[in-house]
Structure 1
């Protein structure tokens, strides 16, 4: 029996649904029931009648799935698959920060642990962060965490000065720098730029557009879900992509005639790539690496996610 056949058999036996983030290995993406951004995947899984959710992603994503589906069993094929961005702020650090600014509203990116979400007033995704911040009383100070590049993007778009930004980052996105972006943009003068707001090159892209080095209409700040939506409208030519390289698989499927070229071909998340076919099979066989969240923490974290969803533009994820 091939690994794909075994996954299909075990999935039926367990009444399981398989989720794969856009940064996963192509073979994992191809076998999943749903592929996409983390929050969208968690919401899709919650709407199914599956008893088991297998989240092929990183740990905070599986936590979010458990928060939104407390009655389901949630597995991650390798519990060591962490996230440098989620790890860049702890609940203890956020509590200390809140104590310094007791009247501030805490806005946390979904790329955070359940404990951080539980201390958060309202969550956001990369696609709706601007909308979330704009929904808050302009006189209220905001503590935005943990991604400094997304925070800078939000501050630039909203023009708010009363927003304090935590100095966290995704090690992969932070490593996609402005020099590489400028070189690629000059080498492909007609190519649109798909740039994730977490990228270290995001500010450089805005600068290059402002200086006339790159036409402003070429620059698109997009979540991974936003990239995929835009890709469906591409016909041919080259598109430069600034995010983790696993995204190229979905983009290429969306527009086969287009050449999606990474700004940094080395931008690969080692945590995302820890999920392999072998580990997926073992997870289903043994029902191992279950992800649990303390019910009290889950309830508070769920409230911060629901406040975001109530705005009417929940976004898709990171």
Structure 2
């Protein structure tokens, strides 16, 4: 019996749901019971009855599942770390707040919003300051809601998302520490980014437009603002999938997001908007063998602590507050 068959057999025997993010390797993705983007997965898991969740993704996603479903045992075959999420922690959050304060903006005039690509600890900090979580698909609504408070938005950790949404709403943005005037900005951005989406450039877009004059360009809002400005469509992972599925198969399209997801979208006329392979290294850490070993550890009642997601009660409480504020909007 091969590894794939062993995994399917264990899934039938155990009280478990196997979950995989869109960016996972094909062989892992195709065995999952639930697939989707990060928030979608946390919401879908809440509706399952399984005691165990085996989550194939990166650490902050597993934490979100645990925060929203604390009664479940959440295991990750590899607790890989999203590079963007790792760019901010509680200490960096506080340091950046102080820089904003030093620019003459007190905390009572600041409303933090964190992209879901952040740790539970950062989400908790945001929750304690009356802030909210957002995703790339709902950030417009969340930021618009936040601005009604009359406060400046402190957007963490992805500067590109903050800048792109500020532009789309005709607002001013600034980045902490780059010399821009924080007092003039409506949205103050933390200086983080996604290493995968930084690979796409305006030159890549020009290359494809010159080669195929009728081609469409679709990119994720984690791309640089110059890339988003030059694209035909900008949307979250789920929005990109929906947009591309609606196109006639004859329509050529170049897509600026993670390789694995783009590669399985459709068979013809779909191109990667990069001369290099934009593959998320941490999302690709999880292997079939890792999945098998995690399922086997459940069967053998020998779960390894390094595979289980734990979030302290206090952190979970405030992170959940920040997430629930998003759900309300």
Same fold (TM over 0.5): yes
Larger radius of gyration: 2
**Distance of 1:249 and 1:195 partners within structure 2:** 14
Aligned residues: 295
Work out whether residues 176 and 242 of structure 1, in 8 Å CA contact, stay in contact via their aligned partners in 2. yes
Query: What is the distance in 2 between the residues matched to 1:89 and 1:9?
Result: 40
Q: Distance in 1 between matches of 2:84 and 2:95?
A: 19
Which stretch of structure 1 is more off in the superposition, 68-77 or 225-234? 225-234
Q: Which residue of 2 aligns with 1:196?
A: 220
Instruction: Indicate the SS of the match to 2:50.
Output: coil
Secondary structure of 1:183's match? helix
Distance 1:29 1:151 in 2: 30
- CA drift at 1:36: 1.3
Partner of 1:102: 107
Distance 1:184 1:304 in 2: 41
Residue pair 1:17, 1:33 contacting (<8 A) in 2 also: yes
Match of 2:260 among 234, 243, 246: 246
> Quick check: 1:14–1:51 contact (8 Å CA) kept in 2?
no
Q: Does 1:268 align with 2:268?
A: no
TM-score (norm 2): 0.86
Q: Is 1:167 the equivalent of 2:175?
A: no
CA distance in 2, matches of 1:70, 1:188: 50
Match of 1:65 in 2: 65
**Which ranges of structure 2 fall in alignment gaps of 5 or more residues?**
173-185, 298-302
In structure 1, runs of 5+ residues without a counterpart are: 209-217, 312-318
| Separation (CA, whole Å) in 2 of partners of 1:247 and 1:40 | 16
Q: Deviations over 1:230-261 (max 9, x none)?
A: 12212213211001101124422xxx4x4221
Cα root mean square deviation, aligned? 1.5
Give the distance between the partners of 1:2 and 1:94, measured in 2 at CA.
46
The match for 1:316 is none
> What do residues 152-209 of structure 1 show as CA deviations (whole Å, max 9, x unaligned)?
1111011223110011011111122222222123222212211000113x42341x4x
